[in-house]
Structure 1
Amino acid sequence: MLIRRRKAAANRRRMATMLARSGALTGLRLLRHPKRARVLLARSRRRRNQQRAGGKRSRLKSLWWLALPLFRAIFPRQATALAGAPAVMRTGAPMEPLRFNAFEVRLAESEAEVEAAQRLRYRVFYDEMQARPSRQVRALGRDVDPYDAFCDHLLVIDRQKMNEDGGAAAAVVGTYRLLRRSVAVRHRGFYSAAEYDLEPLMRLPGEIVELGRSCVEAKYRSGGVMHVLWRGLMAYVQMHDINLMFGCASFHGTDPRVFDRSLSYLHHFHLAPPSLRPRALPLQFVRMDTIPRSGIDVQAAMSELPPLIKGYLRAGSFVGDGAVIDRQFNTIDVCVIVKTDLITAKYDRRYRKQASEPTGS
């Protein structure tokens, strides 16, 4: 009997110590309420076990997302189911395909078509422009990131190639990635926010869209595919009643001195008004005004601009304040802003006229 009492007292002291550490009860209250103490002790143990299990689950989850790209390459359907997301997330009403001669422009309608756009991006950005892929991106042979899951992917499809190869996914020759504000606010925000303070744009009323990952297959760059992409983009703008387009456009290379004339030209002649002017984040800010306005050879500066930036300027675009060096993609980025009501009359008339012309089957 004495031994049992001593063991019981020792057990109560042990429980008192454990509960005191957990903050549940003091030793004195334990001695007065041993049954309640045992209940609280069991509850405390369950809570600790749940926390430990949760920590293991969160670590496993983080490892799963690191391995997901490779898993998707081997088991695409199973990975999509496990990820809990549809292959192509619909962000609005479907867009009717537009046909122009040998080309069709529309939004991606399947995971295979999104992956075709990602493979095209890989060929252009990584193979041609020497961007630095992560291990997962290199293993997949596709330019992928988390934004792809909820962006719209505008595609130009070579219809002749589609008929020969038996599917649209094998015939994607141009692409744009589009992210509307109404979608971005429900997910990760805008991609460009990693380089620019977008607060001036976020204060604007109405819908805005971020343009990104624009590229065209090398052998199609002189065949009007970029114009077809712009036609599709204008249809998308009208469909979603978009007031403003913006995004990062790039110079190939990471030495700003090579592009000082073009960057200075953009700053002095196309700087956005303050109400529309994103600014490069402080730690990434690169001056664009190294040459004074009076010292710029405008024609020479224009000739040095990348074709995409020239196209934006013809559409009436502005640029933000400061450039950003993107070492992963081996580029210097500038933020381009286009108010859709400022698109030049020339472009507006041209696209409206051509959109109304018959294009054949």
Structure 2
Amino acid sequence: MTIELLNRELTPETNQAAAPTLSGDVLGRIGTLETRLARNDREIDAAQAVRYRVFVDEMNATLNPDAMRSHRDIDAYDAICDHLLVVDNAIEGDIEDQIVGTYRLLRQEVALANGGFYSASEFDIEPLLARHPDKQFMELGRSCVLPDYRTKRTVELLWQGNWAYSLKHGMHAMFGCASFAGTQPEEHALALSFLHHTVLAKGDWAVSARPELHCQMDLMPPEAVNARKALTTLPPLIKGYLRLGAMIGDGAVVDHAFNTTDVLVVLPIASISSRYVNYYGADAGRFAS
């Protein structure tokens, strides 16, 4: 496997890069879909309902009793995070009916003032932060998209929003958990081995799963990994990260509550290639002020 193959598999659809004129707080738009931050508690509640549909109804997650009763995926971090939404304006009805995807964004200054990052429960991120005292990190989490909208263009739109947000707040790097379905890492041996052998975070960007939770990712030797086949097994979100130049931390973590196997994605913004800076930045830069 080479990075060239990865880039060929994940080249942006250039006909989508011609962005329409945007206004107000909209961060990106493709067709009838737009991305922006939640404007009020009602929209955050609707995003939590979408998360419940994906994580519980579809992926069989087990949340705390209050969340299960309310049919909302909700935790303490929701109150301190910003919530990125994907809205389909073609759907008739209220905003609760139009939200088809969401992302939760947490800036370092906010996290440190409120007990730390969510990812720290699974990954030892403190050494990573300590090696970059001059940089500001943002955590991406709770990403989910309704089944009918799990397309390349929806992932593109989420990244349009993330990019605009990072520019606005002067972020230097993004990180966050990305998930494979199920709690048996061996079922994802090809994908995990591919990530370990090709895009493992090293040097100043190295980061590992917490020792007591660490699951090996190099389940297959490099020579046994079929790169093209491995790419087809990656979730679209992880493909989107890799397309931008992301790295993956050492070790996976099984999250029994959410019924997933998690990896940590690390993306220094300076590592994003110029073609993607142009692709996302040409439009998103307007919203950085």
TM-score by length of 2: 0.85
In the alignment, which of 165, 168, 193 is matched to residue 120 of structure 2?
193
Contact 1:316 1:343 in 2 (8 A): yes
Q: Residue type matched to 1:298 in 2?
A: A
* d(CA) in 2 for partners of 1:287, 1:322: 5
* d(CA) in 1 for partners of 2:239, 2:191: 11
Q: Does 1:227 align with 2:156?
A: yes
Q: Residue type matched to 2:63 in 1?
A: P
- Residue in 1 aligned with 2:195? 266
CA change 1:356–1:195 in 2 (3 A) is closer
| Offset of residue 355 of structure 1 | 5.0
| Offset of residue 345 of structure 1 | 2.6
* d(CA) in 2 for partners of 1:127, 1:240: 34
Q: 1:308-327 CA deviation, whole Å, 9 max, x = no partner?
A: 11111111000111100001
Q: Does 1:139 align with 2:66?
A: no
Q: Residue type matched to 2:106 in 1?
A: L
| Offset of residue 206 of structure 1 | 2.1
* d(CA) in 2 for partners of 1:356, 1:246: 21
| Offset of residue 160 of structure 1 | 2.8
CA change 1:229–1:114 in 2 (3 A) is same
Contact 1:147 1:188 in 2 (8 A): no
Q: Residue type matched to 2:176 in 1?
A: G
SS for the counterpart of 1:214 is: strand
Q: 1:24-59 CA deviation, whole Å, 9 max, x = no partner?
A: xxxxxxxxxxxxxxxxxxxxxxxxxxxxxxxxxxxx
* d(CA) in 1 for partners of 2:285, 2:217: 41
| Offset of residue 348 of structure 1 | 1.8
Tell me the number of residue pairs that the alignment of Structure 1 and Structure 2 aligns: 260
Query: Superposition pairs for residues 34-45 of structure 1, below 5 Å?
Result: none
Contact 1:200 1:275 in 2 (8 A): no
Contact 2:122 2:210 in 1 (8 A): yes
Q: Residue type matched to 1:171 in 2?
A: Q
CA change 1:202–1:223 in 2 (3 A) is closer
Give 4+ residue runs of structure 1 displaced > 3 Å after superposition.
Answer: 352-357
Q: Does 1:292 align with 2:218?
A: no
Query: Superposition pairs for residues 1-361 of structure 1, below 5 Å?
Result: 96-100=25-29, 101-161=31-91, 164-165=92-93, 167-203=94-130, 204=132, 205-222=134-151, 224-353=153-282
SS for the counterpart of 1:242 is: coil
Q: Which has the higher helix share?
A: 1
SS for the counterpart of 1:329 is: coil
Q: Residue type matched to 1:216 in 2?
A: V
TM-score by length of 1: 0.69
Q: 1:123-145 CA deviation, whole Å, 9 max, x = no partner?
A: 01111111112221110100001
| Offset of residue 223 of structure 1 | 7.1
Q: Residue type matched to 2:88 in 1?
A: D
If you compute each CA radius of gyration, which structure gives the higher value, 1 or 2? Answer: 1
Q: Residue type matched to 1:242 in 2?
A: M
* d(CA) in 1 for partners of 2:114, 2:232: 39
Q: 1:160-190 CA deviation, whole Å, 9 max, x = no partner?
A: 32xx31x434311111000010000110210
| Offset of residue 99 of structure 1 | 4.8
Q: Residue type matched to 2:186 in 1?
A: R
SS for the counterpart of 1:250 is: strand
Q: Percent identity?
A: 45
